[in-house]
Structure 1
């Protein structure tokens, strides 16, 4: 059966019972046990009155599975009751879905579908525009060669501290200071890259390292750094 209000394929616990050849009461109990164990969601209850496949009039409350979640849960129920009928249930759901897909939409359904499609299109357009804007900002940043706020290049650290870039990198590695690679545009229009380090974290690690280092004339020594030279580090 199909839900005429939501235009979604649906299947009741009675349909399942007839499909697998089980008593409807047994199917309902199995559904309730699975729901109690949070394996499936307890489906809503509906009232039906119809003639079953044996020609008998059947009426009463049934559980109604609807949509993708209902399809999933009903397959679990059948796998629990009679695994050999699972393929038959999947085929039945496919038949129901094909019926729904070929049913003409009402005017209200078409308006709702068009509105939903317009919303999806707008979301996609907005997402693409955000991506384009982000890429444009990245390209502009590369052209400017500007380092992100809070970061500094190893070459700039050399000018700032008088310590070689290699020793700066050694310090960053020894004290787990965050590092990254920054891309920039060279004067001749080529794309280049350079190592950068979190400025505040690096300076904190430097102060810690210097508190542990030994002064040896005009140079210093530290077990993690070896011999190194630094001109200014107190800031």
Structure 2
């Protein structure tokens, strides 16, 4: 479907902006919210080139965090520490994308809302970064020769880490040097609503659906009674909303 949409789009030319528009390029910066993330999913940068008064082509790069739908935060009542039960890795995804955009309804100059349809896709790079916790190996004080506190930062593994001894979650980038890349691909379809009031300024939102697949299941959560492949997915779908601002020339 994406290929068909791309094929119907007019070819880019070396000429300047279409005279009816008065501009030829846009550069926007967005904040992403999606159904596979927390409060804020990530961020994006997009460059768009107008082909004529209806069609444009774009490339963009987007970075988001993807969370497992069964993630649950729990706390240690003795230390006040909070961690995610069974979480073994963070999953961050970098998405270089290209696609086309077609204006469906054009707004009046300096007023109204412009509505466009978008189709795009490209590769996905899934980055699995270990989720570290502080684990308490301290010997009980009742034992002879009990030593000082022994609290270590380790990647969370529910098969060997007992909840009662998890002291707290370690800092986000504790395991950054052990990050492992995974290759996949994604496709998206969306509607774009532009609210910019001035010719050289852009502001609006994009609402759409994204489908993404990787070559292997990505282990985010682990459970002693379930295999990693069964608990974790390699195909993800999400509904997203991106708020953006930018400029054009």
**Do they fold alike, i.e. is TM over 0.5?**
no
State the structure with bigger RCO (CA 8 A, min sep 6), 1 or 2: 2
Structure with greater strand percent: 2
Q: Radius of gyration: which is bigger?
A: 1
TM-score (normalised: structure 2)? 0.17
Higher helix share: 1
